[in-house]
Amino acid sequence: MAVSLESVTKVYPNGVVALDEVTLTIADNEFAVIVGPSGCGKTTALRVIAGLEEATRGNVRIGGRVANRVPPAERDVAMVFQSYALYPHMSVYENIEFSLRMRRRRLGLSRDEMRARAREAATVLGLGELLGRRPRELSGGQRQRVALARAMARQPRVFLFDEPLSNLDARTRWETRRELKELHRTLSVTTVYVTHDQLEAMTLGDRIAVMDHGSVQQIGTPADVHDRPANRFVAGFVGTLPMNFIAGRVTADAAGERFVADAISLPLPRARFERSERADPDEWTLGIRPEAIELEPAAERTELARLRGRVSAVEPMGSEVVLGVTVGRQTVSCRSARGDRVERNQWVELGFDMSRSHLFDKRGASAARPLVWNGGPDG
Ligand code: ATP
């Protein structure tokens, strides 16, 4: 069942514009993630889909039909929250069954069918052994699985998840994330998942919508938003390490365009960037991920643009090392598996892969040439 928001604006009574003309289509069976910093409007978007908040303007469609006036209970969506919201005095089984019991008549289920559904959901989520326990006798991960089983037993046409894993420790979170993805593969139910954690978004989503200040900044596959960020906000928000941003200007000569900032001068690949003639040549920001800067590249890597700098920081990160290298007045970070042999104050050569660089104008918009959309659920 597809879900869409069409130019949805939500203004709370206190005047806060939580959603500003949000347009978003989630295809049938898709796993979509809405990600963004705290306060960007993610939860509001989910609550508008669930019917817990009314849109001030615009339409919510569920399965093609405008659902603005459909009460939450009739939308056939199940929501799972960060706080598991389990009933403490009920057993695991009763908690799972409860949501069905409330709707049994409307769903036209016999008592046996209701029990079978609740047991099946418990089995799928590996709760078979725990059915008699109370929530307080469970770990956080188990409680979240009960909340999931309760939502699943309803067999909704849409799952809505609001930061369901944020109360779990890192390892359980990682495991539960996998289980969720697997569950989605098995059940094939349209899923909208909200998180502030970009890594979680990247690993879970078929497509992700990055939000900031109530508006959608970019929608795309994880690779799209990582490799071709639409603007500086997305570029800075997505990625395991922060992208390097360098403010400077663009100059042109017979050999082509270059990005220049103090001691840094780097060639800009002609095929990658498109600039309006009217754009101010003096106010550009170059963006390049630490992964696109190689430490001491081999001589035959002639495609890399080289600069020398001095190591100002060495941060071990397990299998690799993140280095801060100062070139003129700028410090850029790069990552290296061999970096552990590098010491502070040492001079090193950096190889910039400019085919993976980004250029942003003073409003933050990307100057990358638009690429032909490479597929995705809605083409
Ligand atoms: P978080 O990750 O912190 O939960 P979020 O991205 O989910 O944030 P929302 O909860 O959707 O953000 O809130 C968006 C904006 O609307 C915020 O500025 C918030 O303070 C405001 N807001 C949320 N709920 C209400 C409300 N009931 N009344 C007034 N303002 C609200």
69-98 pLDDT per residue, tens: 999 888 889 888 877 788 999 999 999 999
Q: Which pLDDT does position 279 carry in this prediction? A: 64
Q: What are the pocket residues of ligand 1 if the criterion is a CB atom closer than 6 Å to any ligand atom?
A: 12, 14, 16, 18, 36, 38-44, 196
Q: Which pLDDT does position 65 carry in this prediction? A: 93
**pTM, to two decimals:** 0.89
How many Å lie between the centroid of ligand 1 and the Cα of residue 37? 11
Which of 118-132, 165-179, 287-301 has the largest mean confidence? Answer: 287-301
Q: Which pLDDT does position 349 carry in this prediction? A: 95
Could you tell which of 33, 42, 46 is best to mutate to test the pocket of ligand 1, judged by most ligand atoms within 8 Å of the CB? Answer: 42
312-326 pLDDT per residue, tens: 999 988 888 999 999
Query: By alpha-carbon position, which residue is closest to atom 20 of ligand 1?
Result: 39
Other beta carbons within 10 angstroms of residue 40's beta carbon come to: 23
Q: Which pLDDT does position 372 carry in this prediction? A: 43
Ligand 1 atom with the shortest distance to the CA of 194: 7
Whether the predicted pLDDT of 268 surpasses 70: yes
Other beta carbons within 10 angstroms of residue 310's beta carbon come to: 14
How many Å lie between the centroid of ligand 1 and the Cα of residue 26? 22
Closest by CA to 342, choosing from 373, 372, 316, is 316
Q: Return the structure tokens found at 44.
A: 């509001």
How many Å lie between the centroid of ligand 1 and the Cα of residue 36? 12
> Band of the pLDDT at 377, cuts 50, 70, 90?
very low
Residue 210 and residue 207: Cα distance in Å, rounded? 10
Q: Return the structure tokens found at 285.
A: 């920001």
Residue 21 and residue 16: Cα distance in Å, rounded? 14
Query: By alpha-carbon position, which residue is closest to atom 25 of ligand 1?
Result: 12
Q: Return the structure tokens found at 157.
A: 């046409």
Query: By alpha-carbon position, which residue is closest to atom 3 of ligand 1?
Result: 38
Could you tell which of 8, 11, 40, 217 is best to mutate to test the pocket of ligand 1, judged by most ligand atoms within 8 Å of the CB? Answer: 40
Query: By alpha-carbon position, which residue is closest to atom 5 of ligand 1?
Result: 39
> Band of the pLDDT at 128, cuts 50, 70, 90?
confident
Report the run of H or E that residue 219 belongs to, with start and end: strand 215-220
How many Å lie between the centroid of ligand 1 and the Cα of residue 42? 8
Could you tell which of 43, 56, 195, 217 is best to mutate to test the pocket of ligand 1, judged by most ligand atoms within 8 Å of the CB? Answer: 43
% of the chain beyond a pLDDT of 90: 61
Alpha helices in the chain (DSSP H): 42-50, 92-107, 111-124, 140-153, 170-187, 198-204, 222-227, 232-237
How many Å lie between the centroid of ligand 1 and the Cα of residue 159? 21
Q: Which pLDDT does position 222 carry in this prediction? A: 96
Ligand 1 atom with the shortest distance to the CA of 19: 14
Angle between helix 92-107 and helix 111-124 axes, rounded to 10 deg? 130
How many Å lie between the centroid of ligand 1 and the Cα of residue 43? 7
Lowest mean pLDDT among 49-58, 90-99, 203-212, 266-275: 266-275
- N residues, the chain: 379
Closest by CA to 206, choosing from 51, 375, 41, is 375
- Tell me the average pLDDT of the chain: 89
Q: Which pLDDT does position 256 carry in this prediction? A: 83
Q: Which pLDDT does position 378 carry in this prediction? A: 39
How many Å lie between the centroid of ligand 1 and the Cα of residue 366? 28
Q: How far is CA 222 from CA 44, 48, 208, 210, in A?
A: 23, 24, 6, 10
Other beta carbons within 10 angstroms of residue 66's beta carbon come to: 12
How many Å lie between the centroid of ligand 1 and the Cα of residue 47? 11
How many Å lie between the centroid of ligand 1 and the Cα of residue 163? 14
**Who's near 246: CB < 8 A, 6+ residues apart?**
259, 261, 264, 285, 286, 287, 288, 330, 332
% of the chain beyond a pLDDT of 70: 94
> Band of the pLDDT at 169, cuts 50, 70, 90?
confident
Lowest mean pLDDT among 83-87, 202-206, 212-216, 371-375: 371-375
